Amino acid sequence: MDASETDGGAGLDLAEIQPLENLDNRLMRILDQVREHTGAARASLFLRDPETGGAITHVAHLDEVEHIRVAPGEGIVGRVLGTGTACAWPGEGPAPDAASIAATGYRPAAILAVPVLVDDAPVGVLEVIDGDLCADLGGRGGRARRRAERMAQRIARVLQGSSLVAQLRPRGERTAALHYAYEGIIGASPAMQRAFSLAARVAGTGASVLVTGETGTGKELFARALHANSQRREGPLIKVDCGAIPDTLIENELFGHEAGAFTGAGGKARGRFEEADGGSLFPDEVGELSTMAQTRLLRVLEDRVVQRLGGGRPMEVDFRLISATHRDLAAMAHRGDFRMDLLQRLKVVRIRLPSLRERGTADILRLIEHFADVHGRRHARPVRAIPAATQEALAAHAWPGNVRELSHAIESAVVLSPDGVLHLDLFELDPPPVATTVAGPHPFADAPTLAVLERRYLAHLMERHQGRRAEVARVSGLGRTTLWRRLKEMGLDQD
Q: What is the DSSP string of 98-135?
A: HHHHHHH----S-EEEEEEEETTEEEEEEEEESTTHHH
Torsion of CA 269, 273, 279, 281, to 10 degrees: 120
Q: Which own/partner pairs from 75-81 qualify as long-range (CB within 8 Å, at least 24 positions apart)? A: 75/99, 75/100, 76/111, 76/113, 76/127, 77/46, 77/113, 77/125, 77/127, 78/54, 79/113, 80/113, 80/114, 80/115, 80/122, 80/125, 81/46, 81/48, 81/54, 81/55, 81/115, 81/122, 81/124, 81/125
Torsion of CA 339, 343, 345, 349, to 10 degrees: 180
> Taking a C-beta distance cutoff of 8 angstroms, is the pair 129, 115 a contact?
no
Rounded to whole angstroms, the Cα distance separating 335 from 482 reads 9
Q: At what angle do helices 450-464 and 469-476 cross, to 10 degrees?
A: 130
Most confident of 154-168, 202-216, 240-254: 202-216
Say which residue, 490 or 228, is predicted with more confidence: 228
Rounded to whole angstroms, the Cα distance separating 463 from 474 reads 15
Specify the pairing of strand 87-89 against strand 111-118.
Answer: antiparallel
273 SS3 class: helix
Mean pLDDT of 120-133: 86
Rounded to whole angstroms, the Cα distance separating 136 from 266 reads 71
Confidence bin at 431 (pLDDT 50/70/90): low
Rounded to whole angstroms, the Cα distance separating 219 from 372 reads 21
> Taking a C-beta distance cutoff of 8 angstroms, is the pair 226, 250 a contact?
no
Least confident of 276-285, 289-298, 346-355: 289-298
Kind and range of the H or E element at 432?
none
Kind and range of the H or E element at 257?
strand 256-257
Burial of 315 (0-12, 13-18, 19+ CB in 10 A): middle
At residue 79, does pLDDT exceed 50? yes
Least confident of 10-19, 77-86, 199-208: 10-19
For residue 441, is the peptide bond before it cis, meaning its omega torsion is within 30 degrees of 0? no
- Residue pLDDT, tens place only, 365-378: 989 988 998 899 89
Whole-Å CA distances, 165 to 50, 129, 260, 412: 11, 26, 54, 21
Say which residues have a Cβ less than 8 Å from residue 172's Cβ, sequence separation at least 6. 365, 368, 369, 385, 386, 387, 388, 391
Q: Which of 304, 234, 232 is nearest to 273 (CA)?
A: 304
Position 202: which residue type?
V
- The pLDDT, as a whole number, for residue 277 is 94
Rounded to whole angstroms, the Cα distance separating 355 from 201 reads 22
At residue 224, does pLDDT exceed 60? yes
Say which residue, 459 or 392, is predicted with more confidence: 392
